[in-house]
Structure 1
Amino acid sequence: MVVLLIAILFNVAIFAIFRVMPRLRAVTLHAIVVNYWVCVVTGGIFSASNATWSQVSFRAPWAPWALVLAVIFITTFLLMANTTQRLSMTVASVASKMSLAIPVLFSLLVLGVQAKEYDVWNYLGIVLAFPAIVLSSWAKSSGERVPATSRWKGLALPIGLFLMSGLLDATVNYVNLNFISEEFSPVFTVILYMCAGTLGIGVLLVRRELPSRRSFLAGIILGVPNYFSIYIVFRALSTFNNDGALLFPLLNLGIILGSAVAGTLIFREKQNKIKIIGLGLAMLAIFLLSYQELLGY
């Protein structure tokens, strides 16, 4: 349970770092690019003794998928950062963690993989994902009437984050199932970071931009918890006897709740009644998706 709490803290820290980047006067894209190279260095150190490094070949079947995932990585992280900075930590955490509904549907409908028999309550959990995001993102005006179009435009970021996070999880699920062994997984993670970092450098070169010292520092601060947020999850899986069906719902619930608390207490993010209902729906949706595992059925 201690390892689970540490994993939650590292994930909440990522949202908090995105939240303070504007105060640090760091350029978000620049910091994200630096962050990936910090992950490469950190991951390389921790996986240096992994024998599967000998399997690395860019002619391997997984190589094109590494490039695809790199694009999704950067896009998702940018959406996460912008959602956190423009809306709140709560909205960003709900949108990104509720996306678990997408890989569930992908596994069922595309991969044909069904880890359990899904009942009406599980499917209700999937259905609740969208209203949870809408309500948690709902901006209540103080006395002024806000046009409906403005309200819905404000949902573009969280909905985009929801879809991209789900696409990321579904793609990782597909690649992991078809191309990646358990032993090769840590090495493949480092390769993904390397591809994302290389792609990021390419974008900066095209735009003729160079990270400032502030952006470089922000990238280092972001990269360490970003890498360990994944590394600790692997450790937590061992603690939970590799029962991801139990671990990930608890992890996502903890991240959403932790982000809401941190956003409210540290950054003074306002939570109106509609947003609180959305937050409650998100937690209910995760519970319904995984209630069999959580209750030990």
Structure 2
Amino acid sequence: MIYILLSICCSVTVAVLLKLARRYKINIVQTVTWNYFFAIIFGFLTFKPKFEDLTLSPSPVYIALGILLPLIFWFLAASIRNIGIVKTDIAQRLSLFIPVFAAYFLFKEHLGVLKLSGLIIGIAAVLCTLIKPQQGQSAKINWLFPVIVFLGFGTIDILFKQVSQIQTIPYTTSLIVIFSLSFLVSLVSILYLRLIKKEKLELINFICGCILGTFNFGNILFYLNAHKALADNPSIVFAVMNMGVIIFGSLIGIVVFKEKFSKINYIGLLLALTSIIIITLSKIYAV
């Protein structure tokens, strides 16, 4: 259980760092780029991949993830800045419904009563959580960020499930390959901003990237270790991780950052937790 708690702490810390980035004028594109650079280093030091595995031709799935990861990371940061940690965390965590829908519509898996109930409650949770008494064009734009986070992380989850099916190289080595591709994509972005937009490369963004990369990699490492430690109970890892991030992230957002929540937003929070519990039960009992 300690691995799950550490993974939750790392995940919420990433959100907090992205929240603070705006206050201290940290460049997100540069920070995310160096985040992947340090994640690659940590990956080599921790997983010790074989060189011959790294030189295999990357699967199209790897390339898709290499592009999507930094892109959705930028939208994640924008969502946290504009609507807060709580609502963004809920949108991110409830993106797990997209792979469930994909499994039903694309792979014709059975959609039982519990799973269907969880999905319906989850959709209601997203709608209730994101409702905000704000009008105008800015409100519509702010809505886009968590929606893109929701769709983006759901798509990423589907792609990572496909990566886990690849037998030719270890999953941890695949992670390093994907991080490397994400770093290259991000590097092209900051080179564009530097050469075309004349944006300065600053040391503070490199340092922040190191910190962000440490916690981002820690989240992945502890989550994988949690699944190893509780190999017979993957649903427990799934439930505690998602619920823990929502609860802990909500406490940080509401108490520390004073994020405003209406009554219907609180109802959305409760529905999100209920939905995750029901989805977890559907995994255990296959109903």
Q: TM-score when scaled to structure 1?
A: 0.88
- Displacement, 1:295? 8.2
- Displacement, 1:53? 3.9
Assess, with a 3 A threshold, how the Cα gap between structure 1 residues 153 and 204 changes in structure 2: closer, same or farther. closer
Deviation track 1:77-103 (CA, whole Å, cap 9, x = no partner) reads 111111111111001100111000111
Q: Are positions 1:136 and 2:136 aligned together?
A: no
Q: Which residue of 1 aligns with 2:212?
A: 222
- Across the aligned residues of Structure 1 and Structure 2, the Cα RMSD in angstroms comes to 2.2
Letter in 2 for 1:128: I
Does the residue aligned with 1:207 lie in a helix, a strand or coil?
Answer: helix
Letter in 2 for 1:26: I
Letter in 2 for 1:214: I
Does the residue aligned with 1:167 lie in a helix, a strand or coil?
Answer: helix
- Displacement, 1:136? 1.2
Q: Return 119-128 or 206-215, whichever deviates more.
A: 206-215
Q: TM-score when scaled to structure 2?
A: 0.91
Q: Which residue of 2 aligns with 1:254?
A: 244
Q: Which residue of 1 aligns with 2:44?
A: 44
Q: Are positions 1:127 and 2:120 aligned together?
A: yes
Q: Which residue of 2 aligns with 1:238?
A: 228
- Displacement, 1:246? 2.8
Note if contact 2:30-2:205 (Cα within 8 Å) is conserved in structure 1. yes
Find 1:154's aligned residue among 139, 142, 147: 142
Note if contact 2:104-2:111 (Cα within 8 Å) is conserved in structure 1. no
Q: Return 225-234 or 206-215, whichever deviates more.
A: 206-215
Q: Which residue of 1 aligns with 2:22?
A: 22
Q: Which residue of 2 aligns with 1:184?
A: 170
Question: What is the rounded CA distance, in whole Å, between the counterparts of 1:234 and 1:242 in structure 2?
Answer: 14
Question: What is the rounded CA distance, in whole Å, between the counterparts of 2:85 and 2:107 in structure 1?
Answer: 32
Q: Are positions 1:94 and 2:77 aligned together?
A: no
Deviation track 1:194-232 (CA, whole Å, cap 9, x = no partner) reads 110111111111222443122112211110000010000
Q: Return 32-41 or 238-247, whichever deviates more.
A: 238-247
- Displacement, 1:18? 0.5
Find 1:290's aligned residue among 276, 280, 286: 280
Find 1:57's aligned residue among 55, 58, 79: 55
Count of equivalent residues = 283
- Displacement, 1:137? 1.9
Structure 1, unaligned runs of 5 or more: none
Structure 2, unaligned runs of 5 or more: none
- Displacement, 1:267? 1.2
Question: What is the rounded CA distance, in whole Å, between the counterparts of 1:133 and 1:34 in structure 2?
Answer: 32
Note if contact 1:121-1:289 (Cα within 8 Å) is conserved in structure 2. yes
- Displacement, 1:105? 1.9
Deviation track 1:60-80 (CA, whole Å, cap 9, x = no partner) reads xx4332111011101111111
Note if contact 1:287-1:294 (Cα within 8 Å) is conserved in structure 2. no
- Displacement, 1:271? 1.9
Note if contact 1:79-1:157 (Cα within 8 Å) is conserved in structure 2. yes
Letter in 2 for 1:189: L
Note if contact 2:115-2:282 (Cα within 8 Å) is conserved in structure 1. no
- Displacement, 1:172? 1.2
Q: Which residue of 1 aligns with 2:182?
A: 196
Does the residue aligned with 2:86 lie in a helix, a strand or coil?
Answer: helix
Assess, with a 3 A threshold, how the Cα gap between structure 1 residues 89 and 278 changes in structure 2: closer, same or farther. same
Find 1:173's aligned residue among 161, 167, 170: 161
- Displacement, 1:151? 4.6
Note if contact 1:95-1:133 (Cα within 8 Å) is conserved in structure 2. yes
Note if contact 1:24-1:214 (Cα within 8 Å) is conserved in structure 2. no
Q: Are positions 1:280 and 2:270 aligned together?
A: yes
Note if contact 1:76-1:165 (Cα within 8 Å) is conserved in structure 2. yes
